[in-house]
Amino acid sequence: MTAIPKPPQNRGAPLGQTLTDLARRLQDGARLLEQQFLGKEEVIRLLFISAIAGEHLVMVGPPGTAKSALVRAFSAIIDATYFDYLLTRFTEPNEIFGPVDIQAFRQGVYRRRIEGMLPQAEVVFLDEIFKANSAILNSLLTVLNARVYTHGTESVRVPLISLFAASNEVPSDDALSAVFDRFLLRVRCDYLDSYHFRGLLQKGMTLETQQMAQVERTDRKVAKAAELLAIQRRFGELSHMSEEFLATFKGLVFQIRSEGIGLSDRRVVKLLKMFVASAIFDGRTAVNDSDFFVLRHVWNTPEQEEILQEIVGPVLDRWYEQHPDQGRIGATPTSLQDLLSELKVIRETLTGSEVLSDMQLFSQLRNLGDIKAALQRMHDNPAAQRMIGEVDKLLEAMFASSRFV
């Protein structure tokens, strides 16, 4: 395997300077979103790198897991023309692509009035996308594939950077597989773990009271659509990948395929763009093994997510062990203080005088498991390792109880 060569550099501002400035602002935007949405750090990063790479992403999860709110908040900090819509099986094409131009139709010309509609948007969000009818989905395929919208005899280029979508479930109908395949990344959005519960209540109540008081949010823009498109045009300057990186990628791809997870050659090539976008987001001019975290999100069914984690996890673990100064992508940012407070509540519940039901005990057992998993991700923190010992003691005490014999 030979390394991908660097093409000649384009004229313009020095790439390093441009990259550093844009990365800083995008990271600021990510932090703004992280302050609003607990436990969504990895999803937020994926939204940004999808926009950088010009690729599409779909979020799958039950209602009430902030899928729509997250994309709308993301769109609010990107200076781009935005369009969103909730699709149903009764949604008509004119609601998405614009109404038929009646005046032109009277003159024998069929076209739509696309002003302010999806064909003129730079960032698009379609909620419940797989409930759309075939007339809409067929037009979307061309938009997603070629950035072209055809109405009548006229084809127009769409300025789309990324299309984000949400669904409560993965489509099982073969007729929807073509659209689902166009979403390079698939992200699971689930309910928050127990150690995020207090933060959820605090931030959620703040947001609710702001809405009741009709407080307007003043989101600042961290990047323009033109900047993202300009970076995409200079991707070639950042696409040099070492022999070692490509060899690791090859091994991961064939291991993924050997587990029965379909990953087409087309998607494999597009993933190279995502690795580059991940590096750009960090302000790097070269990819490294930490960018392989993207591969956790190429599943075709939710059940495959765990398999992908088992395949990709060791590569990420090895890289972070060799670079302990780097913050781990997707690591739970929950503070030790939050975990300690949650652990204290569980201890008081278990050692109190009140007799707990089996359901309550199993709930606390699950909560302890969540806390231990969060602590184990803090590899280099001695305090976290000591807390794991406390969790183990509580677990031993619970299993020693006759209720679990």
Can you give the pLDDT at residue 328?
59
pLDDT band at 234 (very low <50, low <70, confident <90, very high): confident
Residue where the block lists tokens 């689930």: 190
pLDDT band at 7 (very low <50, low <70, confident <90, very high): very low
- Residue 296: Cβ-neighbour burial (10 angstroms; 0-12, 13-18, 19+): buried
Asked if the model's pLDDT at residue 353 lies above 60, the reply is: yes
Alpha helices in 336-381 (DSSP H): 336-351, 358-376
Who has greater pLDDT, 157 or 240? 157
Closest CA to 22 of 294, 381, 279, 331: 279
- What distance, in Å, lies between the first and last C-alpha atoms of the chain? 56
- Residue 321: Cβ-neighbour burial (10 angstroms; 0-12, 13-18, 19+): exposed
Q: Where are the domains of the chain?
A: 15-212, 234-322, 336-404
pLDDT band at 329 (very low <50, low <70, confident <90, very high): low
pLDDT band at 144 (very low <50, low <70, confident <90, very high): very high
Mean pLDDT of 360-374: 76
Mean pLDDT of 291-299: 96
Can you give the pLDDT at residue 18?
76
Mean pLDDT of 321-349: 70
CB 377 within 8 A of CB 328: yes
Long-range contacts (CB closer than 8 Å, 24 or more residues apart) made by 327-330: 328/377, 329/42, 329/45, 329/278, 329/290, 329/293, 330/41, 330/42, 330/45, 330/293, 330/296
**Two tokens, residue 42:** 């990895």
Q: What is the pLDDT of residues 14-39, one digit of tens each?
A: 666 778 899 999 999 999 998 888 77
Asked if the model's pLDDT at residue 46 lies above 60, the reply is: yes
Distances (CA, A) of 222 to 48, 159, 227, 309: 11, 19, 10, 32
Asked if the model's pLDDT at residue 379 lies above 70, the reply is: no
Give the separation between CA 304 and CA 260, rounded to whole angstroms: 9
Can you give the pLDDT at residue 251?
96
**Two tokens, residue 2:** 């030979």
Give the separation between CA 158 and CA 139, rounded to whole angstroms: 12
CA atoms within 13 A on the CB side of 220: 8
Asked if the model's pLDDT at residue 13 lies above 70, the reply is: no
pLDDT band at 2 (very low <50, low <70, confident <90, very high): very low
Please give the torsion angle defined by the CA atoms of residues 384, 385, 386 and 390, in that order, rounded to the nearest 10 degrees. Answer: 90
| Helix and strand element counts for the chain (H, E) | 15, 9
β-bridge partners, 126: 85, 165
What's the chain's average pLDDT? Answer: 84
- Cα 385-386-390 angle, rounded to 5 deg: 115
Q: What is the pLDDT of residues 58-89, one digit of tens each?
A: 999 998 888 998 999 999 999 999 999 999 99
Rg of the chain, C-alpha, whole Å: 24
Closest CA to 96 of 110, 123, 114: 114
CB 79 within 8 A of CB 223: yes
Asked if the model's pLDDT at residue 97 lies above 80, the reply is: yes
**15-212, CATH topology level:** Rossmann fold (3.40.50)
